[in-house]
Amino acid sequence: MTAIHSPDGTPASRFAFGAMQFGGKADEAASAAMFEAALAAGITHFDSAFLYTDGRADEILGRLAAPRRDGLTIATKVGYRPGSGPETLQQEFDTTRRRLGMERVEILYLHRWDPQTEPERRMDWLAETQAAGGFDHIGLSNFAAWQVMKAQGLAAERGTRIAVIQPMYNLVKRQAEVELLPMCMAEDILPVPYSPLGGGLLTGKYSRDGAAGRLKEQENYARRYGAAWMHEAAQGLAGIADELGTHPATLAVAWVASHPAHPVPILSARSAEQLAPSLQGIAYPMDEGLRARLSALAPAPPPATDRLEEQA
């Protein structure tokens, strides 16, 4: 699997922390507490993006990371909006580096596939910026498998490669299992999935009256996790967690990390207290039997090709 290291050679941790809430739901003090808790749990891989909280996430992460910069893996993203050609990518990358207070980062993602910009132009910019020392590894976020492989072919023509992808993946959002995660295993690409807790659904908190969070506050999250079976799966997860004497978030995070593609889940929260159960998932023993039991709570997506029953 792709090896990613910090400037001083420290291997990137098997779990990452996402700064999306920094400067938003998490103020500077809460952000600092989560950053320190993540470090204490062994996390050295921190993820941000040009768009997060209008740049405050970058600024706070940069200040927190500065004293330890050489031992940390820093990732950021550019190019979320359609029509983000090389000029826009350069402007956003310059801005995010300035906010972070860093001349270079270890991973730079294209935040999403851009149907309005020729992929050749974006890959030209990535390859040139990488060669100039702006970042170490090319990443792609929210790309379909065919889009990743299209980009991989273009990268190879330019003497580089796609090393990392960032898909959504959790117990009730398992589309990545169909093609993305097998692709990662076959092509030596590191998967760094986001939303291991399903926007908070898999913490079990939405089964309580008056629960607050993204599913209640943001329409896109309410739609994404609105299906009744998803809430039933969350209740089942909470029941198993109670039986095992642990927290549902701990099981949810450990389940994501236990996939054979060895995903690096991005953990995040609004406070250190909220983050704690996810951090406990780092060392939680997820054997094949428990993984299968949890997997049975939610339907697996259908395979990418039909007629598989004829191969039996």
> Annotated active-site positions, please?
52
Q: Say which DSSP state 167 is in.
A: -
Buried b / exposed e over 164-175, threshold 16 CB at 10 Å, is: bbbbbbbbbbbe
Cα(252)–Cα(232) distance, rounded to whole angstroms? Answer: 14
- Residue 107: φ, ψ to 5°: -130, 130
DSSP H helical ranges for the chain: 28-40, 56-65, 86-100, 119-131, 145-157, 180-187, 214-217, 219-224, 228-244, 248-257, 272-280, 288-295
Contact partners, residue 145, CB within 8 Å, separation at least 6:
179, 180, 183
